[in-house]
């Protein structure tokens, strides 16, 4: 049953990325480029996502356990460390250069986009390299 919920959530998330324009690298780059012709429309997407996330996390914390699992898997680590900061920096630079982040990369990959395939392959290579270096 968890697989069904995961698939459904992924499909809804992917559809949201397509409808909002987040799966369009040109639209994302237009939002990130504030020096030329800035496109602020994705700010509304971000505000909406933050609002939904805030409400969802508050509601989730009130439940004794998830509906389709035995326990919650919420973040517990609160301190900033060097790998987190460097990873965040690398993520931001990659997003700024390509206009693609992991969620939209999966959407573009599934649609057969060359940019999405290249980004997804690069992201996967980075994850495997990280696992190899850290032994996780």
Tokens (6 digits) for 84: 């987190």
Residue 27 near residue 17 (C-beta atoms within 8 A): no
What's the pLDDT at 51? 96
pLDDT band at 69 (very low <50, low <70, confident <90, very high): confident
pLDDT tens digits, residue range 116-127? 899 889 888 988
H-helix or E-strand containing 82? helix 82-98
Q: What's the rounded mean pLDDT across residues 68-81? A: 83
What's the pLDDT at 55? 96
What's the number of CA atoms in the CB half-sphere (13 Å) around residue 122? 15
Residue 31 near residue 40 (C-beta atoms within 8 A): yes
pLDDT tens digits, residue range 30-56? 888 888 888 888 888 889 989 999 999
Q: How many structural domains does the chain have?
A: 1
Kindly report the pTM of this predicted structure. Answer: 0.70
Among 109, 6, 133, 23, which Cα is nearest to 66's?
Answer: 6
> Residue 110 pLDDT > 80, yes or no?
yes
CA dihedral of residues 1, 19, 94, 33 (deg, nearest 10): -160
* Average pLDDT over the chain, rounded to an integer: 87
Domain that holds residue 125: 3-134
Q: What's the rounded mean pLDDT across residues 51-70? A: 87
What's the number of CA atoms in the CB half-sphere (13 Å) around residue 49? 10
């Amino acid at each position: 049953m968890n697989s069904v919920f995961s698939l459904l959530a992924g499909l809804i998330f992917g559809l949201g990325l397509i409808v909002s324009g987040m799966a369009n690298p040109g639209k994302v780059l237009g939002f990130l480029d504030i020096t030329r012709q800035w496109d602020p429309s994705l700010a509304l997407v971000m505000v909406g996502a933050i609002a939904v996330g805030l409400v969802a996390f508050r509601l989730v914390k009130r439940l004794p356990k998830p509906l389709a699992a035995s326990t919650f898997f919420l973040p517990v680590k609160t301190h900033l460390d060097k790998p987190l900061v460097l990873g965040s920096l690398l993520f931001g630079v990659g997003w700024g250069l390509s206009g693609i982040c992991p969620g939209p990369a999966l959407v573009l990959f599934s649609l057969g986009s060359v940019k999405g395939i290249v980004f997804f392959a690069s992201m996967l290579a980075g994850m495997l390299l990280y696992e190899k270096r850290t032994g996780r």
